[in-house]
Structures are given as C-alpha cells and as structure tokens.
Structure 1
C-alpha cells in the first residue's frame, strides 16, 4: 500500500463517521501520520437519512467528502477500502487494497442493521443505514406509487400503497411521520387519480410505547402526533416474517405490502482479529476502558457505537447515537496529544445533551435533563441542532433552503427516481 514512511507515529483510523472525524480533527496539527479507511469516500450525517429516503433532501445535502474534511490536516492519508482483518501480534491490518502497519489503531466502524437472525426479513426488507440504502427506499416508494397510479387491480393498489415500518425508535418514528406528510402534501397534487385515504403508513413496535429510549411524557406526545398524521401504530407487536409480499406478526396479523422498511435494531460492526474478552458478542461491541482502549491491548482503541464502556450510569454501554461518538472522539484525540507529551490522561465522561426526534411539520419531541416537551418549539430546536452538526457550510445552507421551501410550499422537491430500484 502506497503510504509514505515519515518517521512519525502512524495512527490508523477505521471509519469516517462521527467518532472517527471528531478524533482526527483533534490531531490536525499534531506531529503524527493519520491514515483513514472507509468503504465510502464521504461522511454521512445519518440522523437525516430518513429525509433522503422520503424525498425531502438530496443525498449531497447530508454527505461530505472525507478528503475535503481533512484537506488541511498535516500528513493525512485517506484510502477507500474495506478493512478485513487485524493482526494484533504484528500490528498490521489487512484491507481490500493491501496490508498496512500501524503504531496505533482506532476502530470507529459504527453499526450495521440487526435482523435478529431472520433471513427472510434480511433478504426482502429495506434497511436504512447508508445513503445508497436511503436512495433505494426513495426509488422503491416512488416506483410503487407510480405503479399504483396505473393499476386496475384494487388489491395490488392497496399493497403498493401500504407502507410498513418495523421499529418505533427515532428512525422509525421520523420515517413514519415523513411518509404520512408525503401522503398529505404530495399525493393529492401529483396523483389526482389516487385517493389520499388509499395510502397507509403502519409503524410496528415490540415494546409498549413509541420512542422507548426517551421519557414516557414525550413518548405519549410523539404517539399523539403520529396518530394525528394518520399513522397506524401497532405496539407490543413482534414481526415474525416477510416474504416480499406479506408482513406476518407473531400474534397473527398480516400486512400486505410492497414496501417494508426495517428500522428495528442495530448491532456493532466489528473487524475480524479481535475476539475473546475484548468482544462482547451479544452486542458485537468491543469492551473498552475509561480511555477507550480495548481491553487486553496497549495500542488499539474503539470509539462510538462499536465501543462498550461499562460504568455505573451505563452498565450496558453508552447509547449508540451521535453524541457519545463525537465526545469519545474528541476526548481520545486530546488524550493522544497528552500521551505524546507524557501528561496524565483524562478518563471519558459522557455529557448527556439530551435526545430529540421529529414527527413532522411543527411536531417534534425533546428530552433535555428534566425538561421534556414537544411541539413547534421542539421542532425548531431539532432543526437548529441538526443544521449545526451538519458537516460543511454548503450542506447547512442547502438543507436550510430545502426545509424553508418545504415549509412554505408543503412540498418535497427531491421526488426523482434517478436509479430505479430492483431487488437482487
């Protein structure tokens, strides 16, 4: 692999998500060599993927080139590749483009979709973890509506206009709300031969309320918002199968649908080579100490969703969301600078800045400490926070313009089937 030897400590980072970017930014001017590996050449702002999948935003509004992010970083090298294995004895990694030696390794690979071993669901449902997957959902949604507009088979039209989402966490709730608003704002104008009442959005959750990680107060508000938008919420309902045409639940319910979106869970995305005590198999996360160092290793670290830092307040590790990843990345970057200077390290302490989710226009819910509220104020706060954390000034401007346009016109401008979706 063509990475020059500079005599500086080589830090290899795997994953250009929130954790990896936050870590590298802290070392911009340090006398180290940083090599970043990622399967894509861009960073994805995952909290807004659902807006790409429902035609609210184009993908370039929430993605940013990794090389551009670190253009001014000293001795930085990016390689678009898959990291396949870690040789912990020789301090080398094997990738799809060759092998590379490291002095320090930082793993920030995030999560992948968890189907809980159900192969039919894995094969036939639509996940939403990446930009290509979000574009697949957008294409499939629009294609199915186009088909429904011309079919004379009433049962087939119903199946094409029946949208089923598994999982009522923030992703599922936001996706359900966006689809319901699409029905109200777009269907009657673009498809006059289709009746708005023919399109259904079902949100299925195994627990007894939506947004289980959030407070009961905002959960109830979100539930009311969803029902007001016309979303049919099915609680304490577990999905057992999906054959490509019918979603089946364990209590005998059937939903005929051509669009089944799986947002019911994630699991860590570890790399081969680190096992045993260091890998918690039930969660597929690396067990780390208070400095994000993987247990049993002196020079290998894990950040964000893939890291399991057990503590009194977080016995099962920190939530697999953006803020812990960002904060861990920053803390580890600061600790690397202290380590090179021989200064004592600071253990990681998570500052919970709150949780929020949007359900639709003027409808969002927020948990911040003891404050739990919802409505228009929460919605504007949600917009501000998400704009603030988008990478790149252009992305913020474009996203703000799109949101303003949609707010004024009740429109979703990105209703384009650029690449028709085909299974397999």
Structure 2
C-alpha cells in the first residue's frame, strides 16, 4: 500500500479531465499533497473530438500530457493507473498499481456513452467519447469510403455511403455538419468514382427539436443550417434496433447502413465501491451543494459524474465543460476551507452561455440574453475553443489546421493509421 511521505493532507483526484485538472491547478502552492490518477497520461479536449473523427484534426492536437500541465507545481504527483474501486471505510483507492490512501478524495471521472441498456446498439454502433474512439470512427469512415469505391454490390455500396448520427445535442449536430462538409468538399476530390449524391447523412433525435438545451432560435437555426446542407433529420423518434446493417426507427423507418454513430446520451463513469443508493438516474453520484458525496465527509464528486441536486436544481447541472471547470475551482477553495476549519461556500453555476457549430461559417450561440447565429457565432465558437485548448503548441497546430482547411476546404489528416474491425470493434496496426 502506498503511504504518505509527510503529515500534510493528501488529496487524491481520480480523473484528468476539465474538473480534475482545475482542482489540481487551484491547489498549487497550498500546504497539501495532490495525487492525480488517470488511465491516460493526457488531458483530452473533448469538444473537438468530432473534428478528429472526420479528419479535420489529428488526435494529438486535442490531447495534452498531464505531467506537462503541472511541470511547475511541486505539490502535484501523477500516476497512470486504472482505478478498480474505492474503499471509503479505510480511505483507500485500489488500482492496478496498488493501493493509494487519501485524506480527501475527489472523483472526477467524467462520463461515457450511454446506450440505455441496449446491448445490440452498444455492440454495433460507434461511440465518440475519447481520442481512441474518435480515431476508430475516422478509420471506419475512411475504410467504408474505400470499400464503396470498389464494391460491385449496389446495395452494399449504398449502405457504406449512408451515415446515421443518433443524438441531436451539440455533438450530434456538429458531427452531422462535419460529415455533410466531408461529402460536399472532399468526396469527389479524394474518390473520383463517387459523387456527392451517393453519400447520405441522417440525424435522429428523440426530442422534438435539435439542441434542446439551447434557445428556440438556436434550435431552429441549427435545423435550418443542416437541412440546407442536405442532412435528413428525424425528430421525435428513437432508434429501435440496429444489427450492423439495418437500422429501425420506432416510427417504422428502416435505413440500410454500415455507419451508425452514437451521440445520444452519457452516463457517469463511477468507480467501484460507491454504493448504489448515492447514484442518481443517469449514473451520476448524488452530492450536496459543496459537491460532497451523500453520506461521506471526505469524498467529493465533480463534473459529468456528479449530480448537485437541490430543490431549485433537481436534475443536477448539465454535463458541459463550464460546469466542470467552475466546480473544480470551487471545490479546491472549499477543500482548503475544510482543512483550515473555515466555512465552505455552496456551488452555484454561472452559465456563461452555450455554442454549437454546424459547419463552415455556420454556428449558433446563446450568451445570456444575447442569441445569434451564423458567421459571427462561428467566429466566436472558434475563438473560445482555441483559447480553451491546453498548451501553446496545440493552439498553434489547431489554428494552422483550421486556417488551411478554411482556405483550401481540405485537410491532410485523413490517414487510416489503424484498420478498424467492426466485427470485433478492435483496431489492428496497418501492415507495413
């Protein structure tokens, strides 16, 4: 078992996402020991995963080494470890590297894809919650375009060129727009044997409008933009089944496709050892207004994995980056207040606004009472996301890729680095 090396409090953070990183940063120069555990050694900028999946960016440009983020923070230690479970009774985290004790535990494990218990959909559709999954999706898209170019089976060719995105939130809308632009600007250039009319893009959303968490003008504008980009939209319906070839919607629609991209829901990544009675619907850990897990004094949960449930906010806050960032900063302050015997401050989310991009010169933005769509919203979306990336090198690389893509309507990131096997959902290195 890992032992503390000194008498100062140890704060163990599980997860190197937006929330976990903010806690650790805010604790810099404080008289505490900060230990972060994550199964990856990098932080992922998830809002741009869809651009990795569609070949606009390379995966490395949206990931940043966690150790580099904290190079100058002397009270910080990182271990790349897979957490098996936590044992609050003995203040211990059990991992594949051994056991780590803590004085305070912060669970910031984020969320994963939610298939709502449907194993068939989980087995046959493509998720996109991390860099590896985005790269798998890119491989699948490009491999199926290659197959469509040479197959002599007309039905199979149509299936390979049909893309269905499930979920009409920001991820689904952005992914649908990116696929439409791939069809418009890339398909004929890279695959002269195919044309724009061959490739079809569908978006399936269970709610009656897209971007349901945003304003009505944003929802209407997003649907208008996508319709103009020839994306076929199904609202108010749900996917009933998909066997890898035939997708059935509960309104009776049947779509033959080899490409179903799942962006319809998330569930918290809850480590073992957390009792089910403190887990809310949607797999989020129930916490009080300072993000302390119900029933515990020194265990906290923040970000997508937590649900701060109050009378005014019975469903918890939305799973967006701004909530995670603000909770991380506030929790760090509260932890120091607890350690120093001072009063804590309840978390209150300051909604800075919501944005989504649909495509070239097309985006929607809700910033308080200001709501606008189109070119200016698109510029603002790019500016905010560029500044939010970790590391100067990533900012420079992404800006350069965006500039090249804008002026050439092309990119150099459409590499099939790994073959993706849809039967086993595994990647194998391309033989050299």
For Structure 1 versus Structure 2, the TM-score category normalised by the shorter chain is: over 0.9
Secondary structure (helix, strand or coil) at the match of 2:420 reads: coil
Query: Is the contact between residue 3 and residue 101 of structure 2 (CA under 8 Å) also seen in structure 1?
Result: no
| Deviates most, 4-13 or 100-109 | 4-13
Deviations 1:87-122 (A, max 9, x none): 111111111221111111000011111101111110
Name 1:372's counterpart in structure 2.
371
The secondary structure found in structure 1 opposite 2:397 is helix
Q: Report the equivalent of 1:291.
A: 290
- 2:383 is aligned with 1:384: yes
Answer with 269-278 or 404-413: which moved more: 269-278
Q: Which segment drifts farther, 310-319 or 136-145? A: 310-319
**Structure 2 counterpart of 1:302:** 301
Q: Is the contact made by 1:28 and 1:72 (CA closer than 8 Å) also made in structure 2?
A: no
5 Å-filtered alignment, 1:52-91, equals 52-91=52-91
TM-score, normalisation: structure 1: 0.98
Listed as ranges, the matches of 1:8-407 within 5 Å are 8-280=8-280, 282-407=281-406
Q: Distance in 1 between matches of 2:219 and 2:412?
A: 30
Residues 170-195 of structure 1 show CA distances to partners (whole Å, capped at 9, x for unaligned) of 00000000000011110111111111
SS in 1 for 2:317: coil
Aligned equivalents of 2:218 and 2:279: distance in 1? 35
1:422 matched to which residue of 2?
Answer: 421
Report the Cα offset of residue 76 of structure 1: 1.8
How much has 1:345 moved relative to structure 2?
Answer: 1.7
Contact 1:3 1:77 in 2 (8 A): no
Q: Secondary structure at 2:260's aligned position in 1? A: strand
Tell me the distance in 2 between the aligned counterparts of 1:235 and 1:205.
5
C-alpha deviation, 1:266, in angstroms:
0.6
Counterparts of 2:225 and 2:251 in 1: how far apart (Å)?
A: 26
Q: Is the 8 A contact 2:2 2:99 kept in 1?
A: no
What are the ranges of 5 or more consecutive residues in structure 1 without an aligned counterpart? none
Contact 2:13 2:35 in 1 (8 A): yes
Q: Which residue of 2 aligns with 1:413?
A: 412
User: 2:400, 2:117 → 1: CA distance?
Assistant: 42
Which string of whole-angstrom CA distances, capped at 9 and with x for unpartnered residues, describes residues 147-179 of structure 1?
Answer: 111112211111110001100110000000000
In 1, the alpha carbon distance for the partners of 2:78 and 2:242 equals 40
Deviation at 1:276, TM superposition (A): 4.6
Partners of 1:314 and 1:361 in 2: CA distance:
36
After superposition, the C-alpha distances for 1:346-387 in whole angstroms (9 at most, x for unaligned) are: 211110001110000000001111222100000000001101
Residue equivalent to 2:427: none
Instruction: Give the CA deviation at 1:3.
Output: 6.2
- Compare 236-245 and 309-318 and name the one that shifted more: 309-318
Distance 2:276 2:140 in 1: 41
- Secondary structure of the 1:287 match is strand
Partner Cα separation in structure 2 for residue 417 and residue 168 of structure 1: 28
Report the counterpart of residue 429 of structure 2 in structure 1.
Answer: none
Which consecutive unaligned segments of at least 5 residues does structure 2 have?
Answer: 425-432
* 8 Å Cα contact 2:2-2:101 kept in structure 1: no
SS at structure 2 position matched to 1:343: coil
Q: Is the 8 A contact 1:277 1:295 kept in 2?
A: no
Higher mean Cα deviation, 85-94 or 16-25? 85-94
Q: Displacement, 1:409?
A: 0.5
- Partner SS for 1:89: helix
Comparing 311-320 and 19-28, the one that deviates more: 311-320
Distance in 2, Cα, partners of 1:85 & 1:270: 9
- Taking the aligned partners of 1:418 and 1:276, their CA distance within structure 2 comes to 41
Q: What's the offset of the Cα at 1:312?
A: 4.2
Cα RMSD over matched residues? 1.2
